[in-house]
Amino acid sequence: MEQLKIVATAHQVPERVVTNDELSELMDTSDEWIYPRTGIHNRHVVTDENTSDLATAVAKKLLAESGWSADDLDFIIVGTMSPDALSPHTAAIVQGNIEAGNAFAFDLNAACSGFVYGLSAASAFLSSGRYQRGMFIGAEVLSKLVDWKDRTVSVLFGDGAGGLLLERTDEPVGLIAEELQAYGDRGEAILTGRFANQNAFAGEISPLDPYFHQDGRSVYGFATREVPKVLDRALQKAGLQADDIDLYLAHQANHRIIESIAKNFGQSMDKFPTNMAEYGNTSAGSTAILLDELRQSGQVKPGMKVAFVGFGGGLAIGAQIWQL
Ligand code: ACO
């Protein structure tokens, strides 16, 4: 086990709530269509904030909760597929905003697996012995990548950020095992933010397409088929059975996908808490928001074994087993 401690968690979502009923005034959709297929009623959407604003709010809450000073941080990683800009990267903006003068900072894009991949990277930095304390934040403003006239995509997503502070510890807690897997040959199933080659030598210029596109059916099939295999490999590496895990915190894309995974492992949905009804799919933010809510309510507590599960764009999947 990599001996690491989750010292604090926090989240931040925009105030503005957009209900399914409100979306039905913008496009031909309804709560009756959206909720049974996804488990989503609402999503929070920014009006004047960007990704770094949500991430900075999370960073400040994390420091306040932990009592750490910004100078204590060795690094800041922001998982995002919707940065403010490619440069400066969002983690650097956060680092500047909180004046974390000793921290290096970088963004990591693994789409909806961003939480698990980011936690993996943060854990590896700390376990290497080179660093002592780090911050990971998953932060997304997906509303800027969504065509609000496209009912097949816009109803699924929301904006939000969540994060945690990690440190090396001598206590018997930390990362027991993980399994990460990419499926680049299936990447066309989720396409977002394509750049055109606009250089002077490029000939015909293909149009820039910022919007999110996905083949919902094939992503659904991919997630229900492949996620259990990856999670099973993580459990095997950990030497644990599915019953040994107290809670499974899965990426909040779709209630039916999570139900299918729970059924696959013979687990009750009580062990697979969800919050997509309120936030929709916030990609790299989703599991971190859920973790913080459950910690604040006392449902996630020290002594538990928790599995984190991410899946989505790339395509990519990741699973981690933690002893809290
Ligand atoms: N409201 C009303 N009707 C709709 C809507 C909507 N919002 N969206 C689609 N429809 C219509 C379609 O046009 C289609 O109509 P047609 O039969 O007349 O052509 C019909 O409903 C069925 O459409 P499908 O796309 O086949 O619907 P499906 O049952 O597959 O549900 C959904 C769609 C909810 C997107 C599902 O496929 C899904 O959840 N997929 C997984 C998506 C996911 O989890 N992505 C995660 C990764 S995201 C990331 O990595 C960032």
Task: Give the residues surrounding ligand 1 with Cβ less than 6 Å away.
Answer: 29, 33-34, 37-38, 111-112, 151-152, 155, 190, 214, 216-217, 219-220, 223, 253-254, 257, 281, 283, 312-313
Average pLDDT over residues 270-280: 98
**239: how many CB neighbours lie within 10 A of its CB?**
10
Q: What is the pLDDT of residues 227-268, one digit of tens each?
A: 999 999 999 999 999 999 999 999 999 999 999 999 999 999
pTM, full prediction:
0.95
Indicate which residues carry an active-site annotation. 112, 251, 281
**141: how many CB neighbours lie within 10 A of its CB?**
30
Q: Looking at this protein, which amino acid is placed at residue 140?
A: E
Residue 247: beta bridge partners? 306
Provide the pLDDT for residue 147.
Answer: 93
CA of 205 to the centre of ligand 1 (A): 31
Is the per-residue pLDDT at 204 higher than 80? no
Provide the pLDDT for residue 197.
Answer: 73
- Nearest CA owner, ligand 1 atom 9: 152
Is the per-residue pLDDT at 61 higher than 90? yes
Give the separation between CA 18 and CA 179, rounded to whole angstroms: 35
Q: Does the N-terminal peptide bond of residue 88 adopt cis geometry, omega within 30 degrees of 0?
A: yes
- Nearest CA owner, ligand 1 atom 7: 151
Provide the pLDDT for residue 14.
Answer: 98
Average pLDDT over residues 17-22: 97
Is the per-residue pLDDT at 208 higher than 90? no
Atom of ligand 1 nearest to the CA of 313: 50
Average pLDDT over residues 180-194: 93
Which of 24, 30, 191, 220 has most ligand 1 atoms within 8 Å of its beta carbon, as the pocket-test mutant? 220
Question: Six-digit token pair at 35?
Answer: 């909720």
Q: Where are the alpha helices (DSSP H) in the chain?
A: 20-26, 31-38, 51-66, 90-98, 114-127, 151-154, 216-238, 255-264, 276-279, 286-296
CA of 90 to the centre of ligand 1 (A): 31
Residue 123: beta bridge partners? none
What does the DSSP 8-state code read for residue 46?
-
Contacts of 164 (CB under 8 A, 6+ apart): 6, 7, 8, 9, 10, 62, 119, 135, 136, 288, 291, 292
| Radius of gyration for the alpha carbons in the chain, expressed in angstroms and rounded | 19
Atom of ligand 1 nearest to the CA of 23: 7
Is the per-residue pLDDT at 10 higher than 80? yes
Give the separation between CA 99 and CA 73, rounded to whole angstroms: 10
Task: Write out the DSSP string of 209-248.
Answer: B-S-EE-HHHHHHHHHHHHHHHHHHHHHHHT--GGG-SEE
CA of 20 to the centre of ligand 1 (A): 14
Binned at pLDDT 50, 70 and 90, residue 169 comes out as very high
CA of 217 to the centre of ligand 1 (A): 7
- Nearest CA owner, ligand 1 atom 11: 152
279 CB burial (10 A radius; 0-12, 13-18, 19+): buried
Residue 209: beta bridge partners? 194
Q: Where are the alpha helices (DSSP H) in 100-144?
A: 114-127
- Nearest CA owner, ligand 1 atom 30: 217
- Nearest CA owner, ligand 1 atom 25: 216
CA of 152 to the centre of ligand 1 (A): 5
Provide the pLDDT for residue 209.
Answer: 85
Q: Does the N-terminal peptide bond of residue 315 adopt cis geometry, omega within 30 degrees of 0?
A: yes
CA of 274 to the centre of ligand 1 (A): 20
**203: how many CB neighbours lie within 10 A of its CB?**
7
Instruction: Tell me, rounded to whole angstroms, the distance of Cα 254 from its chain centroid.
Output: 13
